[in-house]
C-alpha cells in the first residue's frame, strides 16, 4: 500500500461528463427503435420486408438495438456505442440505396418525409461521438487507441 504504481504517459483522465446526456439521448431513440422492431410495428415490418430480411433480420437488429440502449447507460458504454454505430451505418446503407428503403420511408402508402432517416443519422452521429470519446475504454484494443 505504501507504494503505488502511478500510470504514466498520455493516458488521459475520465471522459467529460458532457457525453452522458448524449448517451441518454442515443439510448432513448435506440431503445424505442429496438422495441418497435421487436414488437412488430408496421413501419419496422415494412422496412424489413423491403430489405428481404423480415422477420429474422428485424428481430436481430431489434435485439442489438435494445442491448446497445442498455449498455450505453452502463460502464460498458464504449461497447454499446461501437455496436449502435455499426447498426446505424447499416441503416445508412439501407436508406441511401433507393432500390432498398430510400431516404423517405413509405408506410401504409404514406411517406414519413425522411423522419426515420433523420433519427438514424442523429443516432449515428451521437454513437460515433460517444465511441470516439470513450474509445480508450474499449476492451482489448482500448489501450492502443
Partner 1 sequence: MAAAIHVNMEKMAQAVNVSLPLMFVASLLGGIFGHFAIHFLTIALLYLNMLNLYYLFLQKTHALLSNFGIMAQLRYVFESVGPEFRQYFFMSDVEERPFTRVQRAEVYRKAKGVDSSLAFGSQMDFDGSEYKLRHSMFPLNVDQVEPYSLTLGEERGITTAFTMKKPVMISAMSYGALGQNAVRSLARGAKLAGIAMNTGEGGYPKYHLMEGCDLIFQLGTAKFGVRNPDGSLNDELLEKVASEPNIKMIEIKFSQGAKPGKGGLLPKEKISPEIAELRGVPMGKDVISPTHHVECTDAESTVKFIRHVQEVSGLPVGIKFCLGRATQFAQMVMEMKAQDVFPDYMSIDGSEGGTGAAPRGFMDDFGTPLFIALPTVQDILMEHFVRDRLKLFAAGKLISPGLQLMAMSLGADAVYTARGFMLSLGCIQALQCNANTCPVGITTHDPALTRGLNIEDKAQRVANYVHGLEHDWYEMLAALGRKNFNELAKDNLLVPAQAESAKKARQTMMLRKR
- Residues of this chain that interact with partner 1 (CB under 8 A) are 1-6, 10, 51-53, 57, 82, 86-87, 89-90, 93-94, 97, 100, 140-141, 143-145
DSSP 9: S
- Is residue 107 classed as helix, strand or coil in its secondary structure? strand
Complex with partner 1: residue 47 or 69, whichever CB lies closer: 47
Q: Residue 96's closest CA among 71, 74, 78, 121?
A: 121
> In the complex, what is the shortest distance from the CB of residue 113 to partner 1, in angstroms, rounded to a whole number?
23
Q: How far is CA 69 from the centre of its chain?
A: 8
Complex with partner 1: residue 52 or 110, whichever CB lies closer: 52
Which grid coordinates belong to 76? Answer: 460498458
Complex with partner 1: residue 16 or 52, whichever CB lies closer: 52
Q: For the chain, percent helix, then strand, then coil, each to nearest 5?
A: 65, 5, 35
> In the complex, what is the shortest distance from the CB of residue 15 to partner 1, in angstroms, rounded to a whole number?
17
Complex with partner 1: residue 9 or 110, whichever CB lies closer: 9
Amino acid at each position: 500500500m505504501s507504494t503505488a504504481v502511478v500510470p504514466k504517459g498520455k493516458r488521459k483522465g475520465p471522459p467529460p461528463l458532457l457525453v452522458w446526456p448524449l448517451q441518454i439521448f442515443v439510448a432513448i431513440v435506440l431503445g424505442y427503435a429496438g422495441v418497435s422492431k421487436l414488437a412488430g410495428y408496421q413501419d419496422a415490418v415494412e422496412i424489413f420486408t423491403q430489405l428481404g430480411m423480415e422477420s429474422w433480420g428485424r428481430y436481430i437488429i431489434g435485439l442489438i438495438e435494445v442491448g446497445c440502449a442498455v449498455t450505453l447507460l452502463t460502464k460498458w458504454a464504449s461497447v454499446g456505442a461501437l455496436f449502435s454505430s455499426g447498426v446505424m451505418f447499416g441503416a445508412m446503407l439501407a436508406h441511401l440505396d433507393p432500390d432498398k428503403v430510400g431516404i423517405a420511408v413509405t408506410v401504409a402508402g404514406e411517406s414519413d418525409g425522411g423522419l426515420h432517416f433523420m433519427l438514424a443519422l442523429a443516432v449515428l452521429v451521437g454513437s460515433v461521438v460517444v465511441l470516439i470519446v470513450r474509445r480508450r475504454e474499449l476492451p482489448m484494443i482500448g489501450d492502443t487507441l
